[in-house]
Chains A and B, each alone.
Chain A
Protein backbone atom coordinates (compact mmCIF):
# COMPACT_ATOMS: atom_id res chain seq x y z
CA UNK A 1 0.00 0.00 0.00
CA UNK A 2 1.18 3.49 -0.80
CA UNK A 3 2.42 5.18 2.41
CA UNK A 4 0.92 8.46 1.25
CA UNK A 5 -2.60 6.96 1.34
CA UNK A 6 -4.76 7.17 4.45
CA UNK A 7 -6.39 4.15 6.12
CA UNK A 8 -9.63 2.65 4.78
CA UNK A 9 -11.40 3.86 7.91
CA UNK A 10 -10.89 7.40 6.69
CA UNK A 11 -13.48 6.79 3.95
CA UNK A 12 -17.04 7.60 5.14
CA UNK A 13 -19.23 4.49 5.40
CA UNK A 14 -21.91 6.12 3.25
CA UNK A 15 -19.47 6.27 0.35
CA UNK A 16 -18.47 2.60 0.73
CA UNK A 17 -22.15 1.53 0.95
CA UNK A 18 -23.02 3.66 -2.11
CA UNK A 19 -20.07 2.19 -4.01
CA UNK A 20 -21.09 -1.42 -3.27
CA UNK A 21 -24.77 -0.75 -4.01
CA UNK A 22 -24.10 1.00 -7.30
CA UNK A 23 -21.70 -1.73 -8.41
CA UNK A 24 -24.34 -4.38 -7.58
CA UNK A 25 -26.96 -2.35 -9.44
CA UNK A 26 -24.69 -2.04 -12.50
CA UNK A 27 -24.05 -5.82 -12.60
CA UNK A 28 -27.76 -6.64 -12.03
CA UNK A 29 -28.85 -4.10 -14.64
CA UNK A 30 -26.61 -5.52 -17.32
CA UNK A 31 -27.39 -9.13 -16.39
CA UNK A 32 -31.19 -8.71 -16.69
CA UNK A 33 -31.18 -6.22 -19.52
CA UNK A 34 -32.79 -7.82 -22.58
CA UNK A 35 -30.12 -8.54 -25.13
CA UNK A 36 -30.25 -6.61 -28.39
CA UNK A 37 -31.93 -8.51 -31.21
CA UNK A 38 -29.26 -10.08 -33.38
CA UNK A 39 -29.11 -8.11 -36.60
CA UNK A 40 -27.42 -9.69 -39.56
CA UNK A 41 -25.22 -7.29 -41.47
CA UNK A 42 -24.64 -7.79 -45.15
CA UNK A 43 -21.44 -7.09 -46.99
CA UNK A 44 -21.34 -3.56 -48.29
CA UNK A 45 -19.36 -2.50 -51.34
CA UNK A 46 -15.70 -1.97 -50.35
CA UNK A 47 -14.14 1.48 -50.55
CA UNK A 48 -11.84 2.41 -53.42
CA UNK A 49 -8.31 1.01 -53.29
CA UNK A 50 -6.79 4.47 -52.79
CA UNK A 51 -8.94 5.10 -49.72
CA UNK A 52 -7.98 1.72 -48.25
CA UNK A 53 -4.31 2.58 -48.85
CA UNK A 54 -4.68 5.86 -46.98
CA UNK A 55 -6.58 4.15 -44.14
CA UNK A 56 -3.77 1.57 -43.89
CA UNK A 57 -1.43 4.45 -42.95
CA UNK A 58 1.03 3.41 -45.61
CA UNK A 59 1.17 -0.19 -44.41
CA UNK A 60 -0.88 -1.94 -47.07
CA UNK A 61 0.14 -5.42 -45.96
CA UNK A 62 -1.29 -4.93 -42.48
CA UNK A 63 -4.42 -3.39 -43.99
CA UNK A 64 -4.79 -6.39 -46.29
CA UNK A 65 -4.32 -8.91 -43.49
CA UNK A 66 -6.76 -7.19 -41.14
CA UNK A 67 -9.39 -7.00 -43.89
CA UNK A 68 -8.89 -10.67 -44.78
CA UNK A 69 -9.37 -11.82 -41.18
CA UNK A 70 -12.44 -9.59 -40.88
CA UNK A 71 -13.88 -11.01 -44.12
CA UNK A 72 -13.11 -14.56 -43.03
CA UNK A 73 -15.02 -13.98 -39.78
CA UNK A 74 -17.93 -12.21 -41.50
CA UNK A 75 -20.04 -15.38 -41.71
CA UNK A 76 -20.14 -15.48 -37.92
CA UNK A 77 -22.27 -12.62 -36.58
CA UNK A 78 -23.87 -12.13 -33.16
CA UNK A 79 -23.42 -15.79 -32.34
CA UNK A 80 -25.06 -16.88 -35.60
CA UNK A 81 -23.45 -18.46 -38.61
CA UNK A 82 -24.42 -17.17 -42.03
CA UNK A 83 -24.40 -19.59 -44.90
CA UNK A 84 -22.37 -18.54 -47.90
CA UNK A 85 -25.65 -18.52 -49.89
CA UNK A 86 -26.64 -15.39 -47.94
CA UNK A 87 -23.55 -13.56 -49.19
CA UNK A 88 -23.63 -11.21 -52.16
CA UNK A 89 -20.89 -12.84 -54.23
CA UNK A 90 -20.38 -9.79 -56.45
CA UNK A 91 -19.50 -7.73 -53.39
CA UNK A 92 -17.46 -10.57 -51.91
CA UNK A 93 -15.45 -10.81 -55.12
CA UNK A 94 -14.67 -7.07 -55.00
CA UNK A 95 -13.56 -7.37 -51.36
CA UNK A 96 -11.22 -10.24 -52.22
CA UNK A 97 -9.88 -8.27 -55.17
CA UNK A 98 -9.19 -5.21 -52.99
CA UNK A 99 -7.40 -7.36 -50.40
CA UNK A 100 -5.24 -8.83 -53.13
CA UNK A 101 -4.54 -5.38 -54.55
CA UNK A 102 -3.34 -4.24 -51.14
CA UNK A 103 -0.99 -7.21 -50.83
CA UNK A 104 -0.50 -8.90 -54.23
CA UNK A 105 1.89 -11.50 -52.82
CA UNK A 106 -0.69 -12.85 -50.38
CA UNK A 107 -2.21 -16.25 -51.15
CA UNK A 108 -4.93 -16.06 -48.52
CA UNK A 109 -7.72 -14.40 -50.60
CA UNK A 110 -7.22 -16.99 -53.35
CA UNK A 111 -7.32 -19.83 -50.84
CA UNK A 112 -10.54 -18.40 -49.40
CA UNK A 113 -12.07 -18.06 -52.88
CA UNK A 114 -11.05 -21.50 -54.14
CA UNK A 115 -11.46 -23.54 -50.96
CA UNK A 116 -14.17 -21.84 -48.86
CA UNK A 117 -16.41 -19.54 -50.84
CA UNK A 118 -16.49 -21.96 -53.79
CA UNK A 119 -18.06 -24.57 -51.49
CA UNK A 120 -21.36 -22.66 -51.59
CA UNK A 121 -24.38 -24.71 -52.56
CA UNK A 122 -25.20 -22.49 -55.53
CA UNK A 123 -23.75 -23.18 -58.96
CA UNK A 124 -23.76 -19.54 -60.12
CA UNK A 125 -21.99 -18.32 -57.00
CA UNK A 126 -19.56 -21.22 -57.16
CA UNK A 127 -18.69 -20.29 -60.74
CA UNK A 128 -18.29 -16.63 -59.75
CA UNK A 129 -15.59 -17.59 -57.26
CA UNK A 130 -13.85 -19.94 -59.68
CA UNK A 131 -13.92 -17.22 -62.31
CA UNK A 132 -12.38 -14.80 -59.80
CA UNK A 133 -9.51 -17.25 -59.23
CA UNK A 134 -9.15 -17.69 -63.00
CA UNK A 135 -8.86 -13.94 -63.62
CA UNK A 136 -6.44 -13.39 -60.75
CA UNK A 137 -4.25 -16.27 -61.96
CA UNK A 138 -3.07 -14.28 -64.98
CA UNK A 139 -1.63 -11.53 -62.76
CA UNK A 140 0.95 -13.87 -61.24
CA UNK A 141 0.71 -17.39 -62.76
CA UNK A 142 3.93 -18.57 -61.12
CA UNK A 143 2.58 -18.08 -57.61
CA UNK A 144 -1.15 -18.56 -58.16
CA UNK A 145 -1.36 -21.71 -60.28
CA UNK A 146 -2.26 -23.99 -57.36
CA UNK A 147 -5.52 -22.14 -56.70
CA UNK A 148 -6.53 -22.40 -60.35
CA UNK A 149 -5.61 -26.10 -60.31
CA UNK A 150 -7.98 -26.52 -57.37
CA UNK A 151 -10.62 -24.51 -59.24
CA UNK A 152 -10.22 -26.89 -62.17
CA UNK A 153 -10.76 -29.89 -59.88
CA UNK A 154 -13.90 -28.29 -58.43
CA UNK A 155 -15.23 -27.59 -61.92
CA UNK A 156 -14.53 -31.19 -62.93
CA UNK A 157 -15.72 -33.10 -59.86
CA UNK A 158 -18.28 -30.87 -58.16
CA UNK A 159 -19.75 -28.87 -61.03
CA UNK A 160 -19.26 -31.72 -63.55
CA UNK A 161 -18.44 -28.94 -66.01
CA UNK A 162 -15.62 -30.47 -68.04
CA UNK A 163 -15.26 -27.58 -70.55
CA UNK A 164 -14.82 -25.16 -67.63
CA UNK A 165 -12.29 -27.46 -65.95
CA UNK A 166 -10.45 -27.74 -69.28
CA UNK A 167 -10.40 -23.95 -69.68
CA UNK A 168 -8.66 -23.60 -66.31
CA UNK A 169 -6.27 -26.49 -66.92
CA UNK A 170 -5.35 -25.10 -70.33
CA UNK A 171 -4.63 -21.69 -68.75
CA UNK A 172 -2.19 -23.38 -66.36
CA UNK A 173 -0.54 -25.30 -69.19
CA UNK A 174 -0.28 -22.15 -71.33
CA UNK A 175 1.44 -20.24 -68.51
CA UNK A 176 3.47 -23.12 -67.14
CA UNK A 177 6.92 -22.58 -65.71
CA UNK A 178 9.68 -24.73 -64.26
CA UNK A 179 8.36 -24.12 -60.75
CA UNK A 180 5.08 -25.88 -61.49
CA UNK A 181 4.81 -29.62 -60.95
CA UNK A 182 4.07 -31.85 -63.94
CA UNK A 183 0.65 -32.89 -62.70
CA UNK A 184 -0.51 -29.28 -62.94
CA UNK A 185 0.77 -28.91 -66.49
CA UNK A 186 -0.72 -32.27 -67.49
CA UNK A 187 -4.17 -31.74 -65.97
CA UNK A 188 -5.64 -30.82 -69.34
CA UNK A 189 -4.69 -34.25 -70.75
CA UNK A 190 -6.83 -36.13 -68.24
CA UNK A 191 -9.75 -33.75 -68.63
CA UNK A 192 -9.61 -34.10 -72.42
CA UNK A 193 -9.50 -37.87 -72.00
CA UNK A 194 -12.61 -37.69 -69.83
CA UNK A 195 -14.26 -35.56 -72.51
CA UNK A 196 -13.42 -38.21 -75.13
CA UNK A 197 -11.17 -35.82 -77.06
CA UNK A 198 -8.65 -38.57 -77.82
CA UNK A 199 -7.16 -36.90 -80.88
CA UNK A 200 -6.37 -33.77 -78.88
CA UNK A 201 -4.81 -35.86 -76.10
CA UNK A 202 -2.60 -37.57 -78.66
CA UNK A 203 -1.57 -34.20 -80.10
CA UNK A 204 -0.77 -32.68 -76.71
CA UNK A 205 1.19 -35.68 -75.48
CA UNK A 206 3.02 -35.88 -78.82
CA UNK A 207 3.79 -32.15 -78.56
CA UNK A 208 5.13 -32.58 -75.03
CA UNK A 209 7.43 -35.37 -76.22
CA UNK A 210 8.61 -33.26 -79.14
CA UNK A 211 9.30 -30.20 -76.92
CA UNK A 212 11.21 -32.30 -74.41
CA UNK A 213 8.75 -31.40 -71.65
CA UNK A 214 8.52 -35.03 -70.57
CA UNK A 215 11.90 -36.12 -69.31
CA UNK A 216 11.42 -38.49 -66.38
CA UNK A 217 11.60 -42.20 -67.25
CA UNK A 218 8.42 -43.13 -65.44
CA UNK A 219 6.54 -40.36 -67.18
CA UNK A 220 7.91 -41.33 -70.60
CA UNK A 221 6.81 -44.91 -69.98
CA UNK A 222 3.40 -43.82 -68.70
CA UNK A 223 2.71 -41.52 -71.64
CA UNK A 224 4.00 -44.04 -74.18
CA UNK A 225 1.54 -46.56 -72.80
CA UNK A 226 -1.17 -43.89 -72.90
CA UNK A 227 -0.41 -43.14 -76.57
CA UNK A 228 -0.50 -46.85 -77.42
CA UNK A 229 -3.80 -47.25 -75.58
CA UNK A 230 -5.21 -44.26 -77.42
CA UNK A 231 -4.15 -45.68 -80.78
CA UNK A 232 -5.73 -49.03 -79.93
CA UNK A 233 -8.87 -47.27 -78.77
CA UNK A 234 -9.02 -45.24 -81.97
CA UNK A 235 -8.57 -48.39 -84.07
CA UNK A 236 -11.37 -50.14 -82.16
CA UNK A 237 -13.60 -47.10 -82.59
CA UNK A 238 -12.77 -47.02 -86.30
CA UNK A 239 -13.75 -50.66 -86.69
CA UNK A 240 -17.02 -50.11 -84.84
CA UNK A 241 -17.87 -47.11 -87.07
CA UNK A 242 -17.02 -49.09 -90.25
Chain B
Protein backbone atom coordinates (compact mmCIF):
# COMPACT_ATOMS: atom_id res chain seq x y z
CA UNK B 1 0.00 0.00 0.00
CA UNK B 2 2.78 2.41 0.97
CA UNK B 3 4.62 1.69 -2.29
CA UNK B 4 1.48 2.39 -4.27
CA UNK B 5 0.99 5.69 -2.44
CA UNK B 6 4.62 6.68 -3.08
CA UNK B 7 4.27 5.79 -6.78
CA UNK B 8 1.11 7.85 -7.16
CA UNK B 9 2.65 10.81 -5.31
CA UNK B 10 5.78 10.63 -7.49
CA UNK B 11 3.61 10.64 -10.60
CA UNK B 12 1.91 13.82 -9.42
CA UNK B 13 5.33 15.48 -9.01
CA UNK B 14 6.37 14.29 -12.49
CA UNK B 15 3.14 15.68 -13.90
CA UNK B 16 3.92 19.04 -12.25
CA UNK B 17 7.38 19.04 -13.81
CA UNK B 18 6.02 18.12 -17.25
CA UNK B 19 3.37 20.82 -17.18
CA UNK B 20 5.98 23.48 -16.24
CA UNK B 21 4.10 24.11 -13.03
CA UNK B 22 7.18 25.48 -11.27
CA UNK B 23 7.74 28.06 -14.03
CA UNK B 24 4.46 29.64 -12.93
CA UNK B 25 5.66 29.60 -9.30
CA UNK B 26 8.80 31.50 -10.29
CA UNK B 27 6.74 33.90 -12.40
CA UNK B 28 4.61 34.64 -9.32
CA UNK B 29 7.75 35.13 -7.24
CA UNK B 30 9.17 37.56 -9.79
CA UNK B 31 5.89 39.49 -9.88
CA UNK B 32 5.93 39.51 -6.07
CA UNK B 33 9.39 41.06 -6.02
CA UNK B 34 8.16 43.62 -8.55
CA UNK B 35 5.37 44.52 -6.13
CA UNK B 36 7.86 44.76 -3.25
CA UNK B 37 10.11 47.19 -5.09
CA UNK B 38 7.13 49.25 -6.31
CA UNK B 39 5.65 49.50 -2.82
CA UNK B 40 9.11 50.33 -1.46
CA UNK B 41 9.18 53.35 -3.77
CA UNK B 42 5.79 54.75 -2.82
CA UNK B 43 5.45 53.97 0.90
CA UNK B 44 6.83 56.82 3.00
CA UNK B 45 6.92 55.16 6.39
CA UNK B 46 6.35 51.56 7.55
CA UNK B 47 7.92 50.51 4.24
CA UNK B 48 8.86 46.99 5.34
CA UNK B 49 5.41 46.46 6.88
CA UNK B 50 3.75 47.53 3.63
CA UNK B 51 6.11 45.41 1.53
CA UNK B 52 5.80 42.26 3.62
CA UNK B 53 2.02 42.40 4.06
CA UNK B 54 1.27 43.12 0.40
CA UNK B 55 3.80 40.55 -0.84
CA UNK B 56 2.35 37.96 1.54
CA UNK B 57 -1.22 38.70 0.43
CA UNK B 58 -0.22 38.41 -3.22
CA UNK B 59 1.70 35.18 -2.69
CA UNK B 60 -1.05 33.67 -0.58
CA UNK B 61 -3.74 34.31 -3.21
CA UNK B 62 -1.39 33.11 -5.97
CA UNK B 63 -0.66 29.91 -4.04
CA UNK B 64 -4.37 29.23 -3.49
CA UNK B 65 -5.12 29.89 -7.16
CA UNK B 66 -2.33 27.68 -8.47
CA UNK B 67 -2.79 24.70 -6.12
CA UNK B 68 -6.55 24.55 -6.68
CA UNK B 69 -6.15 24.85 -10.44
CA UNK B 70 -3.42 22.20 -10.50
CA UNK B 71 -5.41 19.69 -8.45
CA UNK B 72 -8.61 20.26 -10.44
CA UNK B 73 -6.99 20.15 -13.91
CA UNK B 74 -4.88 17.11 -12.98
CA UNK B 75 -7.90 15.17 -11.73
CA UNK B 76 -10.20 16.25 -14.58
CA UNK B 77 -7.53 14.99 -17.01
CA UNK B 78 -7.45 11.75 -15.05
CA UNK B 79 -11.18 11.35 -15.67
CA UNK B 80 -11.03 12.49 -19.32
CA UNK B 81 -8.17 10.21 -20.40
CA UNK B 82 -9.59 7.33 -18.35
CA UNK B 83 -6.40 7.02 -16.30
CA UNK B 84 -8.52 6.70 -13.18
CA UNK B 85 -10.20 3.60 -14.66
CA UNK B 86 -6.80 2.12 -15.38
CA UNK B 87 -5.59 2.75 -11.83
CA UNK B 88 -8.71 1.32 -10.27
CA UNK B 89 -8.53 -1.79 -12.47
CA UNK B 90 -5.25 -2.62 -10.74
CA UNK B 91 -5.25 -4.42 -7.38
CA UNK B 92 -5.44 -1.17 -5.49
CA UNK B 93 -7.98 0.08 -3.01
CA UNK B 94 -9.83 3.25 -3.91
CA UNK B 95 -8.67 4.74 -0.62
CA UNK B 96 -5.04 4.04 -1.56
CA UNK B 97 -5.55 5.78 -4.90
CA UNK B 98 -7.05 8.84 -3.19
CA UNK B 99 -4.38 9.02 -0.48
CA UNK B 100 -1.62 8.54 -3.09
CA UNK B 101 -2.96 11.39 -5.18
CA UNK B 102 -3.44 13.61 -2.15
CA UNK B 103 0.11 12.86 -0.94
CA UNK B 104 1.42 14.13 -4.28
CA UNK B 105 -0.64 17.31 -4.00
CA UNK B 106 0.60 17.66 -0.42
CA UNK B 107 4.21 17.61 -1.65
CA UNK B 108 3.37 20.23 -4.27
CA UNK B 109 1.74 22.37 -1.56
CA UNK B 110 4.85 21.97 0.60
CA UNK B 111 7.16 23.10 -2.23
CA UNK B 112 4.96 26.13 -2.98
CA UNK B 113 4.80 27.13 0.70
CA UNK B 114 8.58 26.84 1.13
CA UNK B 115 9.40 28.80 -2.02
CA UNK B 116 6.90 31.56 -1.21
CA UNK B 117 7.85 31.58 2.46
CA UNK B 118 11.56 31.95 1.66
CA UNK B 119 10.86 35.19 -0.19
CA UNK B 120 9.50 36.65 3.06
CA UNK B 121 12.56 35.70 5.10
CA UNK B 122 14.41 38.70 3.65
CA UNK B 123 11.81 41.10 5.04
CA UNK B 124 10.66 39.75 8.42
CA UNK B 125 12.17 37.81 11.37
CA UNK B 126 12.65 34.09 10.75
CA UNK B 127 10.22 32.99 13.44
CA UNK B 128 7.34 35.00 11.96
CA UNK B 129 8.17 34.10 8.36
CA UNK B 130 8.45 30.44 9.42
CA UNK B 131 5.06 30.57 11.11
CA UNK B 132 3.57 32.20 8.01
CA UNK B 133 5.12 29.53 5.76
CA UNK B 134 3.78 26.68 7.88
CA UNK B 135 0.38 28.34 8.01
CA UNK B 136 0.37 28.75 4.21
CA UNK B 137 1.19 25.05 3.88
CA UNK B 138 -1.79 24.19 6.11
CA UNK B 139 -4.06 26.52 4.12
CA UNK B 140 -2.91 24.91 0.86
CA UNK B 141 -3.57 21.43 2.29
CA UNK B 142 -7.16 22.36 3.05
CA UNK B 143 -7.61 23.88 -0.42
CA UNK B 144 -6.00 20.85 -2.13
CA UNK B 145 -8.29 18.47 -0.22
CA UNK B 146 -11.29 20.65 -1.04
CA UNK B 147 -10.34 20.79 -4.74
CA UNK B 148 -10.12 17.02 -4.78
CA UNK B 149 -13.59 16.75 -3.27
CA UNK B 150 -15.00 19.29 -5.75
CA UNK B 151 -13.54 17.37 -8.70
CA UNK B 152 -15.11 14.12 -7.51
CA UNK B 153 -18.40 15.95 -7.11
CA UNK B 154 -18.51 18.01 -10.31
CA UNK B 155 -16.05 16.35 -12.79
CA UNK B 156 -15.76 19.76 -14.44
CA UNK B 157 -13.01 22.37 -14.17
CA UNK B 158 -15.19 25.49 -14.19
CA UNK B 159 -17.71 24.16 -11.67
CA UNK B 160 -15.08 22.73 -9.35
CA UNK B 161 -12.90 25.86 -9.44
CA UNK B 162 -15.92 28.12 -8.87
CA UNK B 163 -16.90 26.03 -5.84
CA UNK B 164 -13.36 26.22 -4.42
CA UNK B 165 -13.19 30.00 -4.92
CA UNK B 166 -16.61 30.47 -3.30
CA UNK B 167 -15.57 28.28 -0.36
CA UNK B 168 -12.30 30.17 0.08
CA UNK B 169 -13.91 33.62 0.01
CA UNK B 170 -16.58 32.48 2.45
CA UNK B 171 -14.11 30.79 4.81
CA UNK B 172 -11.87 33.87 4.77
CA UNK B 173 -14.65 36.34 5.49
CA UNK B 174 -17.11 34.30 7.55
CA UNK B 175 -15.96 35.90 10.80
CA UNK B 176 -16.59 39.43 9.44
CA UNK B 177 -19.94 38.34 7.99
CA UNK B 178 -20.89 36.88 11.35
CA UNK B 179 -20.03 40.15 13.10
CA UNK B 180 -22.21 42.11 10.68
CA UNK B 181 -25.02 39.60 11.09
CA UNK B 182 -24.82 39.82 14.87
CA UNK B 183 -25.03 43.61 14.80
CA UNK B 184 -27.83 43.85 12.26
CA UNK B 185 -29.93 40.79 12.88
CA UNK B 186 -29.85 40.47 16.65
CA UNK B 187 -31.96 43.58 17.01
CA UNK B 188 -34.51 42.29 14.49
CA UNK B 189 -37.55 40.23 15.51
CA UNK B 190 -38.57 38.79 12.14
CA UNK B 191 -38.36 35.06 11.38
CA UNK B 192 -36.39 35.58 8.17
CA UNK B 193 -33.68 37.53 10.02
CA UNK B 194 -33.61 34.86 12.72
CA UNK B 195 -33.21 32.19 10.06
CA UNK B 196 -30.39 34.12 8.28
CA UNK B 197 -28.57 34.66 11.58
CA UNK B 198 -28.75 30.97 12.40
CA UNK B 199 -27.70 30.01 8.89
CA UNK B 200 -24.62 32.25 9.11
CA UNK B 201 -23.83 30.75 12.50
CA UNK B 202 -24.15 27.26 11.01
CA UNK B 203 -21.78 28.22 8.19
CA UNK B 204 -19.27 29.61 10.66
CA UNK B 205 -19.10 26.34 12.58
CA UNK B 206 -18.92 24.18 9.44
CA UNK B 207 -16.27 26.22 7.62
CA UNK B 208 -12.66 26.37 8.79
CA UNK B 209 -11.80 29.81 10.12
CA UNK B 210 -9.19 30.66 7.49
CA UNK B 211 -8.99 34.20 8.89
CA UNK B 212 -6.69 32.77 11.57
CA UNK B 213 -4.33 31.38 8.91
CA UNK B 214 -1.38 33.25 7.31
CA UNK B 215 -2.12 36.49 9.09
CA UNK B 216 -0.50 39.71 7.90
CA UNK B 217 -0.35 40.79 11.53
CA UNK B 218 2.52 38.32 12.10
CA UNK B 219 4.56 39.87 9.30
CA UNK B 220 3.68 43.47 10.09
CA UNK B 221 3.71 43.56 13.89
CA UNK B 222 5.50 40.26 14.62
CA UNK B 223 2.62 39.08 16.77
CA UNK B 224 2.63 35.39 15.82
CA UNK B 225 2.90 32.98 18.77
CA UNK B 226 3.16 29.25 19.33
CA UNK B 227 -0.54 29.10 20.24
CA UNK B 228 -1.40 30.24 16.69
CA UNK B 229 0.68 27.37 15.36
CA UNK B 230 -1.16 24.85 17.52
CA UNK B 231 -4.60 26.18 16.61
CA UNK B 232 -3.80 26.14 12.89
CA UNK B 233 -2.33 22.62 13.05
CA UNK B 234 -5.36 21.28 14.91
CA UNK B 235 -7.82 22.96 12.54
CA UNK B 236 -5.92 21.67 9.49
CA UNK B 237 -5.77 18.08 10.73
CA UNK B 238 -9.49 18.06 11.51
CA UNK B 239 -10.56 19.70 8.27
CA UNK B 240 -8.27 17.78 5.91
CA UNK B 241 -9.43 14.47 7.40
CA UNK B 242 -13.04 15.63 7.04
CA UNK B 243 -12.58 16.60 3.38
CA UNK B 244 -10.63 13.44 2.51
CA UNK B 245 -13.31 11.31 4.20
CA UNK B 246 -15.98 13.09 2.14
CA UNK B 247 -13.95 12.50 -1.03
CA UNK B 248 -13.56 8.81 -0.14
CA UNK B 249 -17.30 8.54 0.49
CA UNK B 250 -17.88 10.06 -2.95
CA UNK B 251 -15.23 7.93 -4.68
CA UNK B 252 -16.47 4.66 -3.20
CA UNK B 253 -20.02 5.41 -4.36
CA UNK B 254 -18.91 6.20 -7.91
CA UNK B 255 -19.63 3.59 -10.54
CA UNK B 256 -16.15 3.53 -12.05
Question: Which positions in A face B, CB cutoff 8 Å?
Answer: 50-51, 53-54, 56-59, 61-62, 65-66, 69, 72-73, 103, 105-108, 111
Q: How far is the CB of B140 from chain A (nearest CB, A)?
A: 16
A73 and B44 contact, Cβ closer than 8 Å, known pairs A57-B172, A59-B57, A105-B221: no
Asked if B175 is an interface residue, CB under 8 A from chain A, the answer is: yes
- Indicate whether B173 reaches chain A with its CB closer than 8 angstroms: yes
Complex: chain B residue closest to A57, CB-CB: B172
For residue A62, which residues in chain B have a CB less than 8 angstroms away from its CB?
53-54, 56-57, 216
Q: Are B183 and A50 in contact (CB under 8 A)?
A: yes
Taking CB atoms, residues of chain B closer than 8 Å to A65 are: 49-50, 53-54
Instruction: Considering the complex, give the chain B residue whose CB is closest to the CB of A58.
Output: B211
- B39 interface residue per 8 A CB criterion: yes
Bound-state CA distance A69–B51 (Å) is 12
CA of A134 to CA of B56 in the docked complex: distance in angstroms? 33
A149 shortest CB reach to chain B, Å: 16
For B, the interface residue count at a CB cutoff of 8 angstroms equals 28
Complex-state Cα separation, A107 to B221, whole angstroms: 12
Interface of B is mostly: helix
Most chain B C-beta atoms within 10 Å of own C-beta, residue among A50, A57, A73? A57
Q: Can you give 24 A-B contacts (C-beta < 8 A)?
A: A50-B179, A50-B180, A50-B183, A53-B173, A53-B179, A54-B177, A54-B180, A57-B169, A57-B173, A58-B175, A58-B210, A59-B211, A61-B215, A61-B217, A61-B220, A62-B54, A69-B42, A69-B50, A72-B44, A73-B42, A105-B220, A107-B46, A108-B45, A108-B50
Encode B136-178 as 1/0 by CB contact (under 8 A) with A.
0000000000000000000000000000000001001101110
| Most-contacted residue by chain B among A65, A106, A107 (CB, 10 A) | A65
B242: interface (CB < 8 Å): no
Nearest chain-A residue to B42 (Cβ)?
Answer: A69
Chain A residue nearest to B214 (CB atoms) is A59
Considering the chains assembled together, what is the distance between the CA atoms of A77 and B217 in angstroms?
A: 31
Given contacts A65-B53, A69-B42, A107-B45, contact A58 B217 (CB under 8 A): no
With A59-B57, A69-B43 given, can you name 5 additional A-B contacts, CB distance below 8 Å? A56-B176, A58-B211, A69-B39, A103-B220, A108-B45
